[in-house]
């Protein structure tokens, strides 16, 4: 049985005060049952949110990490810096990073490896655009995104990683993948990994992301290969996020 995981991605939202209040509301709402829940916070609020959630079961995550360990990389944040601030997770390869900031399959693979050097669990985001889906390229696209990481890090690196399938056309659009559409790709991803290593395929958590909301989360999470969610917009409201978490 895979442990489920629900992760909030706050993206570039909030103030110091509002993110503190949001974190506080989430840990209050979680109470003692906080296993498998994390929030990926803007870099600048990692310290303040980290202080608030310390000692609760809510895990801290970042939204990206540099592809280099240290040095002259202005504006970047290294995995060791994230480690120092208590990050347990980091997103790599989010589609917004890939499309607006030029993160490539190659640099995403390097970021993935950097996270693991600091024992931070990378959450590798993969998924196709609408155009790619319409051209029947969904499986080929996610295979290529996975291969870039597997070729650099090795298949065993997936022992300490999480995958997130986020169809680009569903992110922030209100257009969720249907339960069946999401399950079809999750199953494909698991089979693709199983062909390389069955044990890892059985164990790895594959999250769904893209307009997940309290009213559609239950159906998505009931699918056999969907182990949780990566939640954007709905994670900015503690009640919605907690409802999604509790629907698993």
Which residues form the interface with ligand 13P (CB under 6 A)?
9, 94, 166, 171-172, 209-212, 230-234
* Phi, psi dihedral angles at 219 (to 5 degrees): -65, -45
Query: Strands, DSSP E only, in the chain?
Result: 5-9, 37-40, 59-62, 89-92, 121-126, 162-165, 206-209, 228-231
The two tokens of residue 233 are 């917009």
Question: CB of 7: closest distance to ligand 13P in angstroms?
Answer: 8
The reply to whether 84 belongs to the active site is no
Q: Which is nearer to ligand 13P, 23 or 230 (CB)?
A: 230
Q: Which residues contact 105 (CB under 8 A, 6 or more apart)?
A: 93, 144, 145, 148
The reply to whether 94 belongs to the active site is yes
Tell me which long-range contacts 173-177 makes (C-beta under 8 A, separation of at least 24): 173/210, 173/211, 174/211, 175/210, 175/211, 176/210, 176/211, 176/212, 176/213, 176/216, 176/220, 177/208, 177/210, 177/220
Q: Which is nearer to ligand 13P, 188 or 213 (CB)?
A: 213
Q: Which is nearer to ligand 13P, 148 or 177 (CB)?
A: 177
Helix or strand run (H / E) with residue 82: helix 79-84
Which of 89, 109, 104 has the alpha carbon at shortest distance from 46? 89
Q: Which of 96, 110, 128, 166 is catalytic?
A: 166
Instruction: Map 140-198 to HEC letters.
Output: HHHHHHHHHHHHHHCHHHHHHCEEEECCHHHCCCCCCCCHHHHHHHHHHHHHHHHCCCH
Q: Which is nearer to ligand 13P, 122 or 210 (CB)?
A: 210
Q: Which is nearer to ligand 13P, 90 or 171 (CB)?
A: 171
The two tokens of residue 192 are 């693709």
Question: CB of 37: closest distance to ligand 13P in angstroms?
Answer: 15
Question: CB of 56: closest distance to ligand 13P in angstroms?
Answer: 22
Q: Which of 94, 96, 110, 186 is catalytic?
A: 94
Q: Report the catalytic residues.
A: 94, 166
């Amino acid at each position: 049985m895979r442990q489920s995981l629900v992760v909030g991605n706050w993206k570039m939202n909030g103030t110091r005060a509002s993110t503190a209040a949001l974190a506080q509301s989430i840990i209050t709402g979680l109470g003692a049952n906080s296993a498998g829940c994390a929030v990926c916070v803007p870099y600048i609020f990692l310290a303040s949110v980290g202080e608030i959630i310390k000692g609760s079961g809510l895990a801290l995550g970042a939204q990206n990490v540099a592809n280099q360990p240290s040095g002259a990389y202005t504006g970047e944040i290294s995995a060791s810096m994230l480690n120092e601030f208590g990050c347990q997770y980091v997103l790599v390869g989010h589609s917004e990073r890939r499309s607006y900031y030029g993160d490539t399959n190659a640099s995403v693979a390097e970021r993935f490896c950097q996270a693991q050097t600091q024992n931070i669990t990378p959450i590798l985001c993969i998924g196709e655009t609408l155009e790619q889906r319409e051209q029947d390229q969904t499986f080929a696209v996610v295979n290529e995104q996975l291969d870039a990481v597997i070729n650099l890090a090795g298949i065993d690196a997936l022992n300490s990683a999480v995958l997130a399938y986020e169809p680009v056309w569903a992110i922030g659009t209100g257009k969720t993948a249907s339960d069946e559409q999401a399950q079809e790709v999750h199953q494909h991803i698991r089979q693709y990994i199983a062909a390389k290593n069955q044990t890892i395929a059985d164990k790895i958590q594959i999250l769904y992301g893209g307009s997940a909301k309290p009213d559609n989360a239950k159906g998505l999470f009931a699918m056999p290969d969907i182990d949780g969610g990566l939640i954007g917009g709905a994670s900015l409201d503690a009640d919605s996020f907690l409802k999604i978490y509790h629907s698993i």
